A = this chain, B = another copy of it.
Amino acid sequence: MTERRIRLNGLRQSTVGHTAIGLWRHPDSQAHRYRDLDYWLDTARILERGRFDALFVADALGPLDVYQGRVDAALRDGIQTPTDDPLLAISAMAAVTRHLGFAVTVSTTYEQPYAFARKMTTLDHLTGGRIGWNIVTSALDSAARNLGLVTQLPHDERYAMAEEFMEAVYRLWESSWADDAVVRDAASGIFVDPARVRPVGHEGTWYRVPDIALAEPGVQRTPVLYQAGTSPAGRAFAGRHAEGVFLSAYLPSMARRLVSGVREQAVAAGRDPASVRFFAIATVIVADTDDEARAKLADYQRYASVEGALARWSALMHIDLSALDLDRPLEYVDTDGIRGMVELFTTLDPSRTWTPRAIAEFVGVGGGGPVIVGSPATVADELERWMDEADIDGFNIADPVPPVTFRDFVDLVVPELQRRGRVWREYAGDTLRESFHGPGVTRVRDDHPAATHRWTTA
């Protein structure tokens, strides 16, 4: 491809309402089938047919209960509540695909490095090297309350814990088993050569991992690492560790600032900033013509839930928006969070009066990023503009009416992007990391911090 390849990820959570709230009511929506294995198998097949790099599965570890201080609004629209575990459908999806990667969200705050490293290695084994990990530290108070913490840890302490967590899992993945440890030599009776396996010996502030890794390494050893944090601590963390960054931005210029912020941090960490890949959330509503696509969006918008959107935004911002007048412009509210939100939406459209209702309607079909509407050519133009103006590597495509939105994208947009030479027709290799860095590159790059833990022959 002459132009830079547009890298595609599918965005999902094992829940009813995620980026789009209320659209479960649309007659075409299969969102309620999130519990069914077939729903995930269909999804994986669709995305692989569209040559997506990966399916990204988000998660939330507690109910959404900031709005009204209750879980009621979240339950009514199934907004990340209920939600199922993101790891457990992966092997089934791997069984019906050959190349699609899987980026699963797991919080460092509620895992032990020893058991978690084995989980990821097991998934690396079962998927044949197609597993990625979206590293989060969990901001929800409701998760902390129910998972053994009396209160939420402070944000920066969570990131300090996460740093030590990374150190421990890197050692488990990269340093404990030499590449030639598994010899499987029936003649000498040696399956694993004990001289080629060594203890991890991690003794830290939060974690203690004295022994050898319990799982032999997978093809990728360290899973492909993703991150989505945009706070200063989050950007620094992403600059050090992330190979892929999921962005939430409504304008290419906003995305570009986030991209350059993380790339600067990557440079500071001694990494090639070009090796970090950025994916912007986008909701794409496509049809054969622009008019039909606009009609489709209008149809979807009829199902968007205003209260549901406020409940989701309350949880995201840690501010209970239920106290606000739905139809009063927000300028009168004097908190940092609300001021930031007003600023954001005023930048998007200065001509509009931004009330809570207006914001809720705006994010109803596609929270977290742009809603791109039109014919395949219109959509492709807009995606190309984002690629250039935001300096990103691809997108995290949302699925507001699952799996219809994914299928529309794959049937209509992907062929157009392939014609333009922007989406590949075949995968580059068999592993997720090869989708990132090219055929043969199955391990972390030499400039990645995990590489410092490699067991290299002296």
Contact = CB atoms under 8 A, between A and B. Distances in A.
Interface of A: 14, 16-17, 22, 24-25, 27, 32, 35-37, 40-41, 60-63, 65, 70-72, 75-78, 81-85, 87-92, 94-96, 110, 112, 114-115, 118-119, 121-123, 125-128, 142, 145-148, 150, 184, 186, 189-194, 197, 207-216, 218, 305
16 contacts: A24-B186, A32-B184, A32-B191, A36-B126, A60-B214, A63-B214, A76-B193, A77-B191, A78-B192, A81-B192, A84-B118, A84-B215, A88-B88, A88-B122, A110-B115, A114-B146
A37 B94 contact: yes
A415 B216 CA distance: 38
A28 to B, nearest CB: 12
A126 B36 CA distance: 5
Contacts of A123: 88
Contacts of A127: 37
Contacts of A147: 112, 114-115
Contacts of A91: 37, 88-92
A404 to B, nearest CB: 16
A76 B189 contact: yes
A184 B17 CA distance: 12
A186 B150 CA distance: 38
A35 B126 CA distance: 6
Oligomer copy total: 2
A146 B207 CA distance: 8
Nearest to A65: B211
A122 B84 contact: yes
A130 to B, nearest CB: 11
A210 B142 CA distance: 9
A261 to B, nearest CB: 32
A192 B82 contact: yes
A167 to B, nearest CB: 15
Given A37-B91, A197-B75, A215-B82, A61 B115 contact: yes
Identify the 6 closest CB pairs spanning chains A and B, nearest first: A35-B125, A91-B92, A72-B194, A25-B186, A75-B192, A114-B146
Contacts of A77: 189, 191
Nearest to A22: B189
